[in-house]
Amino acid sequence: MVYALKPLLHARQQAHSVGQLRSLAIDVTPVCNLRCSYCYAETFVKTEPLELETYQRTLEEAHQMGVFHYIFQGGEPILAPMRLEALIGFCHPESSYLNVVSNGWAMTPARIAWLKELQVDKITYSLDSAFPAEHDAVRGKGSHLRVLNAIEATLAAGLLCGISTVVTRESLYSQGFQQLYDFAFNKDLRFHIQIAEPVGKWDSRTDLLMRPEDSAYIQELYQAAPCLSNGQKLVHRDIFCGDSAHCPAATEFMSLSTDGECLPCNFLQFSLGNIRDHSLGAMRAAILDHPWFSDDHGSCICGEDPAFIRDYILPYAGKPKPLDAYAVFGLKALNPTSRDCGD
């Protein structure tokens, strides 16, 4: 699958085994130029960025653990260019797959060229409908045109480009979604489907979540989808892995907030501690024995599993996030400082 011309990356990818940490989402900044009606990152909007030296140490540890896929998000990551550039540099760009997630509002050809120079492999743009009025209603007036211009500029620069679309159980069947699928196909763009999650501004909103038939419909779209010119499937979800599906939270995927809180997933807002105090390996190991993080759940536990939502989402509705993962899941507490502990 040739989607990044980095031989060292492909060697690391081939060495990866199921259940090994591979992906890390990094919140670059809490600052954003849009106010999306469903923002999951609302939890972290008032956080202060952790010092880069600590991030450098943790990202080096992640590399040693086998991580090769990094997602830079926010906020809007390009609004903190110096921090973004530093974080990218810490991730061994010559042997890693680097994906910057942007709303496209402030993206320019010059910024795209800069990201390409930093060895970014892909820019994923948030686009929620083919219809400007529908997209702008949730993200802000004029944002639809801005993101379309950003997509065209990215394609013109020869950089891989994708779109990420948030869907509810209703919008999944809308004309705006259906025509967005056609747009992605015609433009040769990866179409990432992000299901509604009951977090952030949608805290505990179970009325928006996927039902089994909705999840099955997305699976059918994936299976029937053609491949892009680079060999990847047109349709993608974060739980899809080849012909199987599993929730990768904590096992293969983790998330770091701007202020250094370590989460099993950016939607699972249960903190395992701060990278200032603990190693990534120690925090990950602390939760892997819990049955909900055993890599054998075939759906997104936060957005699709009724039992998890009943026991771990709804009881904490309206409470400040992130929650203490050790208290919520009954985990064994880490030593006061476990920076030297490995995976």
Fold of 7-240+250-329: TIM Barrel (3.20.20)
154-208 per-position pLDDT tens digit: 999 999 999 999 999 999 999 999 999 999 999 999 999 999 999 999 999 999 9
Q: Count CB neighbours of 123 within 10 A.
A: 28
156-167 per-position pLDDT tens digit: 999 999 999 999
Cα gap 255→324, rounded to integer Å: 15
In the structure, what pLDDT confidence band is assigned to residue 109 with cuts at 50, 70 and 90? very high
pLDDT at 242: 62
Is the pLDDT at 343 greater than 60? The verdict is no
pLDDT at 341: 44
Mean pLDDT across 206-228: 96
246-296 per-position pLDDT tens digit: 899 999 999 999 999 999 999 999 999 999 999 999 999 999 999 999 877
Share of residues in the chain with pLDDT > 70 (%) = 96
Mean pLDDT of the chain: 93
Is the pLDDT at 320 greater than 50? The verdict is yes
Share of residues in the chain with pLDDT > 90 (%) = 85
pLDDT at 340: 52
13-62 per-position pLDDT tens digit: 999 988 899 999 999 999 999 888 888 877 777 788 999 999 999 999 99
Per DSSP bridges, beta strands 97-102 and 160-167 are: unpaired
pLDDT at 269: 95
Cα gap 51→255, rounded to integer Å: 17
Is the pLDDT at 339 greater than 90? The verdict is no
pLDDT at 42: 76
pTM reported for the whole predicted model: 0.94
70: Cβ–Cβ under 8 A, 6 or more apart, which residues? 23, 24, 25, 26, 88, 91, 96, 97, 98, 99
Cα gap 96→4, rounded to integer Å: 9
